[in-house]
Amino acid sequence: MGATATGKSKLSIDLATHFNGEIINSDKIQVYKGLEIITNKVTDEEAKGIPHHLLGILDNPNQDFPAVDFRRQATEAIDSVLNRGKLPIIAGGSNSYIENLVEDGDFLRRFDCCFIWVDVSSPVLHKRARERVDQMVAAGLVDEAREMFVPGGGDNDYGRGIRRAIGVPEMAAYFTVENDENVDEATKGEILASCIEEIKVNTLKLIDSQLEKIRRLRNALGWKLKRVDATAVHEKCGQDAEAAWDRLVLKKSLEIVKTFLE
Ligand code: ATP
């Protein structure tokens, strides 16, 4: 578990590699096909051959996938992974999905669980998240969002399915004017910049609300979360960040899972 941009996907893949695991996605937007850049889905290269379940499984961008559907399909995936003698690792994302799954009466009777929370201090994570939006723009966020654009669309279009993803509704203001000959290029550029700023602001709000929900699971519901502090990793770049990851996040997480399995 952890807020967006903390590194939980990477950690889940590292743990699955080490403990012969398979990953079950619990991010409510990544269950849809598409928006690879905007949702920061793991690439085939990053997945390192680890099977991922419930990732990009919904073709219909408007389809609802409520927490009860997630619970049913995630439980099936957990059973199939266990039947193959492997370790199920649930990675994500959406706390309402995880809460619904775990708080279901039978879940804790059937499965022993180990919760790892990848935490990063808010100022560092906010800075990192803003940079990541710029990287997404460089990687093609605008073109990806354009494919989801609904001219004249309202809450009905952007309030359900994959179009709820941060990065899609915010861009509508730009797509509305980008081909308008009555709007000059400088104004179009300003509108684009303000849409990107709005994506950043909404990403930071998401981070804050995710952190609040994780704290609630720990403090109000009593989940025994093992907190791993990845702040130092995100303060560094390149090889230094890789080394800090191995030393501070991976090593500690491997120990946590090893102790749990023993
Ligand atoms: P809620 O019940 O409020 O949706 P939650 O814990 O189930 O909360 P979150 O994962 O916090 O869900 O997602 C809340 C909203 O944040 C989503 O509806 C979507 O707008 C946005 N969001 C979540 N994950 C992503 C993602 N991977 N990419 C882009 N936007 C996302």
| DSSP classification of residue 53 | E
Q: How far is the CA of 186 from the centre of ligand 1 (A)?
A: 33
| Residues in Cβ contact with 127 at an 8 Å cutoff, skipping those fewer than 6 apart | 234
pLDDT at 155: 86
Ordered by start, the domain boundaries in the chain are 8-119+224-261, 126-200
> Using an 8 Å Cβ cutoff, are 227 and 117 in contact?
yes
The ipTM is 0.92
Q: What is the rounded distance in angstroms from the CA atom of residue 84 to the CA atom of residue 17?
A: 15
Reported pTM = 0.95
> Using an 8 Å Cβ cutoff, are 11 and 21 in contact?
no
pLDDT at 105: 85
Q: How far is the CA of 190 from the centre of ligand 1 (A)?
A: 27
Which atom of ligand 1 lies nearest, measured to the CA of 164?
20
Using most ligand atoms within 8 A of CB, pick from 90, 101, 166, 202 the residue to mutate for ligand 1: 166
| Residues in Cβ contact with 161 at an 8 Å cutoff, skipping those fewer than 6 apart | 32, 60, 61, 62, 63, 64
Both structure tokens of 180: 């308008």
Q: What is the rounded distance in angstroms from the CA atom of residue 48 to the CA atom of residue 113?
A: 24
Helix axes 95-102, 67-83, angle to 10 degrees: 60
Per-residue model confidence as pLDDT tens for the chain (262 residues): 999 999 999 999 999 999 999 999 999 999 999 999 999 999 999 999 999 999 999 999 999 999 999 999 999 999 999 999 999 999 987 889 999 999 998 999 999 999 999 999 999 999 999 999 999 999 999 999 999 999 988 888 999 999 999 999 999 999 999 999 999 999 999 999 999 999 999 999 999 999 999 999 999 999 999 999 999 999 988 899 999 999 999 999 999 999 999 9
Architecture of domain 8-119+224-261: 3-Layer(aba) Sandwich (3.40)
Strand-pair category, 115-119 with 87-91: unpaired
Using most ligand atoms within 8 A of CB, pick from 28, 71, 136, 221 the residue to mutate for ligand 1: 28
